[in-house]
Structure 1
Amino acid sequence: MNQSSSQSSNRSLPDSEYYRAFLDRDSNYDGIFFAGVRSTGIFCRPTCSARKPKLENCEFFATAQDALLAGYRPCKRCHPTDHPGSTSPLIKELITLVESDLTRRWKDQDLRARGIDPTTARRQFKSRFGMTFVAYARARRMGEGLKTIRSGERVIDAQIDSGYESGSGFRDAFSKMMGSPPSGNVAHTLKAEWIDTPLGPMIALADESALHLLEFVDRPGLETEILRLRQKHGLAILPGRTPITELLESELASYFRGQLQEFTTPLHLYGSDFQKSVLKILQQIPYGETWTYAQQSEALGNPKAIRAVARANGMNQIPILIPCHRVIGSDGKLTGYSGGLARKEWLLDLEKRRKS
């Protein structure tokens, strides 16, 4: 498994420099990076006064959200989710609520029931560290559920190591996202793998013959997407690697280095016949080029199906390999992308540079 500590394209310094700043409690780096400590499962700001671990037990993140999605919880000593030198009773209260039940999906009415204005909570979380309260709770929940995939351990091993008892906490977080271990009524089992990329971590679901899903772990709606996949097709998901994920990881690394323009990883497509035909058209868009939705519809043989094509593109579960990032608006501007427009622009720039 790729356990690289480089979690974000925004980080440009070597780990040794971040580690030096972490050891020295250098305040110049506050807000620049966060340090995850593998042995404790917490993440800290650079100025944390806690005893420092060895470099091999550290990994460094550009944002608090990256650390949360990697399965780390905030340090109670240095409070990395607060701005340096500031505290917020509301933020502390809400973080405590999240930690008390990591599997809960928080809604505005839950906050109102506690006398908390959802708008105030959203604004304070956004101003403190760049994400809303709901996004924070989701990242913490996702990180806990993905932790076992990232480490490559069995669910029960990770559960015991995390100190949770059966039927609570960690196991629930994983099971709610990925489903229970296979039983007699499961039609098929997929293996889930965590893959680090320059644009952030991704999760890959594959069996021995094909890739079924590849998504950025911070994609909104990922949990629902996986749940729909499990329920509709009778799938069970467990941590692990297959020859397909090994090939995928190798090809993604080459792609991000600008050394690969066509993927050979076998794909398993889901959806209606129309949706599958749209995905196959996407695969025909040449590397380094862009099409409009109108061009894609014409290639499909149905020029009037622009909106339907756009919807089908949005349901793509295997981005990059099925390059929906190569589709732009008729005015030449970037349009919606599940991984975010910044990632879309990055991918297009990479391909344009390498093609020329």
Structure 2
Amino acid sequence: MKLKTTSKQRLLTILLAVLLFLMPSATAAAVAKAIDASDIQRLQLPDVLVGPESVAFDAHGGGPYGSISDGRILKYNGEGAGWTTFAYSPSYTKNKCDEFTELPALATESSCGRPLGLRFHTKSGDLYIADAYMGLMRVGPNGGEAKVLATEAGGAPLRFTNGVDIDQVTGDVYFTDSSKTYTRTQHQMVTTSGDSTGRVMKYDPRTNQVTVLQSGVTYPNGIAISADKTHLIVALTGPCKLMKYWIRGPKANTSEPFADLPGYPDNVRPDGKGGYWVALHREKYELPFGFDRHLLAIRIGPGGEKLQEMKGPKNVRPTEVVEREGGKIYLGSVELSYVGIIGSST
């Protein structure tokens, strides 16, 4: 039987609509050109240090600052001066962790601390630090020994403090505790067991009080406040999703799904355009052989749409992606011995 031309066109239109429905990520990601991260400039860490998990810049553009596996936060002072110690936990001093240079970081991090998320409060210049073992900490603009602000919330200890962000208007600090059951060294168990004891919290610097906003969350990791300050975006590592938690408006104190991701997310950072860069430590269905490139990160729009992808070498597995003015993108990684820089994203 022959179809009329109009019928054929209608059928093609329906088929195209079905394809667009089945492949939303591919069509959305094509909105912006994919970023090739093959050529990465390296800000090499000193000695045998590794793991700049989070990357931050102060209000004056200084940095990057990196949270390092030996328990310190380092600051990059330019090509000539390189990296210097900026901050550390009270336990780092107490336990004389500067003498543990011959030991692997995993063996000492519960004693020396393992700083993860970093965010500066622009007005005060204070740096807030989510340390996996020490809890939420803060250090002044001149650095030095950080002050521990919180080690428990809702009557339960912080076992795996992870991501942090700040409302620059109110000064409120939002952070995550990835699990009430497992510590950072057991992070794989959080994923494989489906542990859902994670929490999202708020620290009020005016009262020094911590409030549990939501409990029973499956592996909450990175966290970012929206440009309009109405909600938080939380990376759920195990489920490969982003969650939206409302902090203002008619939906305040409720959460909802925001986006499905093609990989395991770590930190979430605003992209300066109303959306977010999400670092993907590993693809969801990654093949163990055959390809030397994979997804490093994905840019998500304010409505949860996938806008842009970043691809690069298999040995680069970022935990944070920070886009700066001029299009430079900085990569933090829990595994590598450097902070990576990729040229303009345009």
- TM-score normalised by structure 2 residue count: 0.32
Say which structure is richer in helix.
1
Question: Higher RCO, 1 or 2 (CA under 8 Å, sep at least 6)?
Answer: 2
- TM-score normalised by structure 1 residue count: 0.31
